[in-house]
Structure 1
Amino acid sequence: MTARTDVDPARRNQWLFPSAARVVRPADVRTLLPIDPAVRWEQGDLLLAQVLAPIGRIDRVENVNRCEGLAFHDAELHPGSVTVVVLAPRAGTHTCIAEVPKQATELLHLHGVGGQAGLVVPGSQHTSLYRGPPTQVRVLARLGDAEGRAINTRSFGEPGDATPRAPKPDDPQLVLVVGSDMDSGKTTTARRIIYSLRAMGAPVVAGKAVGVGELAELCTMFDAGASEVFDFSALGEPVTIDLPRKRVLELFFRVFHRLRAAAGKGGFVVIELADGIWYPETRYVLEDEAVRRSAAHIVFACEGVLDAEHGLAKLERWGYAGKIRAVSGRVAGSGLLRAHLPEILGGRYPLFDALDYDALPETVASLFTGA
């Protein structure tokens, strides 16, 4: 493609439009722009791409084209599928490292079901959990608006206040769900907290302030009973990886303020922070004094005894000792550890199994309500 081309709306309806780019409406894409090797690429740039054979690690995307609200279709990828991708890095202990190329390139790797694409660093994939080649896509064009300006998700983020402010007595209570690492059970834990508080009649809203953008996690919070869900993707960032501290804190407070207004007096705001507390972006949030003042409760999800001991000690050093309410996640799925971990931790913190919905919701809710 060598010249700007107007988009055919009928063809646009056939594209896969992934969830991490949902802040841009498909109708906003009006032109296809040629790839200029002299133009620098940035996180959030939208490209049109075609999936190449063979299909690799990412075999589907969350397609929001012709959907409303939280709805999406789990769209299977096939050789030749045409999809929008959003430039974004990746850094996952169980996945891979991927970088955003600074200059135009013909081929990219799809590394997220939200449509995130970049270049996977050779040898960075987890040797057992992320085996196999990445899914490759061929870049067809940059996406542009009606005036032919290149589209970046950051230009479409919802406006909002990012100024920290001291909590007031009538404010909803902020529950932070944090974890030892990726896949430690944070979303499962957040879902159980939401379900339990809502079952007790409390207003609950929920969201995600750092991590990798995808709709499935927000949907599971909504299904648990949250009346509103919100994340950083709605603010124009497909991921928060490698963002500077100032931008990460801006995103956190914009997510928090939006949800706090929705929860209202007597409510709860449940926010998950990915992936583990050692990740730079999560650490930026937890080390911030304004965040520490804002948080009423912390729940730590982890996988093993040493994770629990070390992670809780770190949270205590950061000033959260009086706000840690419980330990959950994968560690609490073990009957043996449920029997022994409270004693190992000196009786300081209870455990709850986030997947045990036979247990009374009052038990979990009381950790936050004091009832």
Structure 2
Amino acid sequence: MSVGAHDHLEDTHGRQVRLYPGDVVAGAFGNRYATDYYEGYLPTGTVAHMLTAGGVVGQVASAHARRAEPTVLEVLGLLADPAGRPLSLDGYAMPAPAPGRPELGTYVVVGSSMGAGKTTTASALVRGWSSAGLRVGAGKVTGSGSGKDRWMYQDAGASEIVDFLDFGMPSTFGYPPQRLHATMVGIRDALVERGASVVVLEIADGLLQEETRGLAAGLAGFADGVVLAVADALSAVAGVGIMADLGTPVRAVSGLLTASPLASREAEAATGLPVLSPAELIAGGALELLSGVAVPA
């Protein structure tokens, strides 16, 4: 092992375990699509790279200019069952839950890019609803395996959390659209089956990413509301336009943009939509998105 950009690895409890040359680690082969980190694919030989701190292993094809060289791994072999068959996360996927729609609706957070504030926005929705006494289900539909987002939902007060890892995928980049759409529906259904009265789902990356755009095109009739997380006002205009073209209007704008009151006013004037910071979502904006829905006292 040659330790590079990923010098820590998450353990099952979320602790960041420091890596040293010579360490033996267990990971999962997968791809990664990260415009601000690595583009990576399944390895083809005995040398591989650490693609995420969650343990996704592949080969780096390109990297953002500010990222260090990847951590290099020597592939010692494949984990196998007692019969010698290689293990796959597919073998541990949860069974398809019964179809179900949450009483108070399904809300989906999409974004303009990585780092636009999607997870922070989704967590703010969770916090706003859970603080009002609602049983909130949260799920990450796409992305690369890591516990970071899951723990943010948990800290915000989500009662139930399900993500693509539970459906047998270490990373969703490169999976067929049908599998990803079925996973999105399955995550919602699983959260409802576990008692969630309102559900928020986060779709990774930005609307120009192929899998993200494909899922966004299937939100009509599925989502009761879409919240767009962006980093600037121009991205808000473009994102609202893309979602309109896909047949699913945006209900509100949030994300990194809201760190600037001036940029927020620009976006509000240009889109005609409410621009709500995470703090405003927590303070009441999340409940306002449920307008027209009977919210239990």
1:201 lines up with 2:146 in the alignment: no
> What is the rounded CA distance, in whole Å, between the counterparts of 1:96 and 1:340 in structure 2?
32
- Please give the per-residue CA displacement for 1:83-128, whole angstroms capped at 9, x wherever unaligned: 1011011121111211113x4x22110010110111111xx11113
Matches within 5 A, 1:27-66: 52-53=1-2, 55-64=3-12
Q: Percent identity at matched positions?
A: 29
1:125 lines up with 2:63 in the alignment: yes
> What is the rounded CA distance, in whole Å, between the counterparts of 2:65 and 2:133 in structure 1?
45
> What is the rounded CA distance, in whole Å, between the counterparts of 1:363 and 1:152 in structure 2?
41
SS in 1 for 2:79: strand
Q: CA deviation at 1:341?
A: 2.4
- Partners of 1:172 and 1:260 within 8 A in 2: no
AA matched with 1:155: G
Q: Which has the larger radius of gyration?
A: 1
1:144 lines up with 2:91 in the alignment: no
Which residue of structure 1 aligns with residue 40 of structure 2? 98
- Please give the per-residue CA displacement for 1:291-324, whole angstroms capped at 9, x wherever unaligned: 3212101100001111000110111111122xx2
AA matched with 1:277: L
SS in 1 for 2:25: strand
- Partners of 1:207 and 1:255 within 8 A in 2: yes
Which residue of structure 2 aligns with residue 304 of structure 1? 232
Which residue of structure 2 aligns with residue 368 of structure 1? 290
> What is the rounded CA distance, in whole Å, between the counterparts of 2:170 and 2:236 in structure 1?
30
- Partners of 2:234 and 2:267 within 8 A in 1: no
Matches within 5 A, 1:162-181: 171-181=103-113
> What is the rounded CA distance, in whole Å, between the counterparts of 2:98 and 2:35 in structure 1?
30
**TM-score normalised by length of structure 2:** 0.93
Matches within 5 A, 1:257-272: 257-264=189-196, 267-272=197-202
Q: CA deviation at 1:162?
A: 8.3
SS in 1 for 2:78: strand
Q: CA deviation at 1:344?
A: 2.3
- Partners of 2:233 and 2:257 within 8 A in 1: yes
- Partners of 1:162 and 1:253 within 8 A in 2: no
AA matched with 1:335: P
Q: Unaligned 5+ residue runs, structure 1?
A: 1-51, 65-70
Name the Cα RMSD after superposition. 1.9
Q: CA deviation at 1:360?
A: 6.2
> What is the rounded CA distance, in whole Å, between the counterparts of 2:72 and 2:46 in structure 1?
10
Q: CA deviation at 1:172?
A: 3.9
**TM-score normalised by length of structure 1:** 0.75
Q: Unaligned 5+ residue runs, structure 2?
A: none
Which residue of structure 1 aligns with residue 179 of structure 2? 247
- Please give the per-residue CA displacement for 1:190-243, whole angstroms capped at 9, x wherever unaligned: 011110111122221101111112111111101101101110101110010011
2:243 corresponds, among 315, 319, 322, to 315
2:26 corresponds, among 71, 84, 98, to 84
Q: CA deviation at 1:279?
A: 1.3
> What is the rounded CA distance, in whole Å, between the counterparts of 1:100 and 1:364 in structure 2?
40
SS in 2 for 1:117: strand
SS in 2 for 1:118: strand
- Please give the per-residue CA displacement for 1:60-98, whole angstroms capped at 9, x wherever unaligned: 11111xxxxxx3321111111111011011121111211
Q: CA deviation at 1:262?
A: 2.2
> What is the rounded CA distance, in whole Å, between the counterparts of 1:115 and 1:363 in structure 2?
36
1:329 lines up with 2:255 in the alignment: yes
SS in 2 for 1:108: strand
Q: CA deviation at 1:138?
A: 1.1
